Chain A
Amino acid sequence: GAVVSQHPSWVICKSGTSVKIECRSLDFQATTMFWYRQFPKQSLMLMATSNEGSKATYEQGVEKDKFLINHASLTLSTLTVTSAHPEDSSFYICSARVDRRDTQYFGPGTRLTVL
């Protein structure tokens, strides 16, 4: 149980284009999903917290107009990186949980490379 999937697993795009990443909870309903970014050999940095049916809460320094998050259902959240630039290249990982007392389960991550 508690499986989280992400799609795509990797993506290469040109500078200026937008990229959408999907995060799905496969066998449970996630009231909350989280989006993290991880640079090489660094820790997980929370970008935003996403609750089903409401607007995402972004961490300080994260541009909400650049990183669009939609949590339309209890099993799906999407992150869209708009007008991507090379500095947005990173490993993006989502996680999901049932409620506040529950564990966060991570997706396999999406490696984004912006040329």
Chain B
Amino acid sequence: GENVEQHPSTLSVQEGDSAVIKCTYSDSASNYFPWYKQELGKRPQLIIDIRSNVGEKKDQRIAVTLNKTAKHFSLHITETQPEDSAVYFCAAPGAAGNKLTFGGGTRVLVKP
């Protein structure tokens, strides 16, 4: 099955700085890569996703890049704000595509 590794596990940044989270996956057949944000005690919410036919996608302060050759994808948050503080999860579906395997999560703290 798919194996997803996520780094770093914790990330502390100063407000206004950028944050980058990286995930690697094992199954080259994976073709969909979502990122979820989860605040304490709440549901994971999709913030951005990318499919394997594109290398980069941007939505305001958030961007995701995908390197299929190296089997890794990254989340970039620019101009971080305190409300960006949360746990972020990446995921990949594997060859079957019928379920998602999640990374271990990154706890982001944006210091004012």
Contact = CB atoms under 8 A, between A and B. Distances in A.
A32 B99 CA distance: 10
Interface string A36-54: 0000011111100100000
B42 A108 contact: yes
A78 B107 CA distance: 30
A106 B43 contact: yes
A43 B103 contact: yes
B105 A106 contact: no
Nearest to B107: A41
A105 to B, nearest CB: 7
Nearest to A106: B43
A21 interface: no
A104 B43 contact: no
Contact of B100 (A42, A104, A111): A104
Interface stretch (B44-52, B57-65, B73-81): B44-52
B102 A43 contact: yes
Contacts of A105: 46
Contacts of A17: none
Interface in A14-61: 32, 34, 41-46, 49
Contacts of B89: 43-44
A5 B105 CA distance: 23
A107 B98 contact: no
B78 to A, nearest CB: 23
- Most interface-central of A41, A44, A45, A104 (chain B CB within 10 A): A44
A103 B103 contact: no
Given A43-B104, A49-B99, A103 B44 contact: no
Interface string B26-43: 000000101010000111
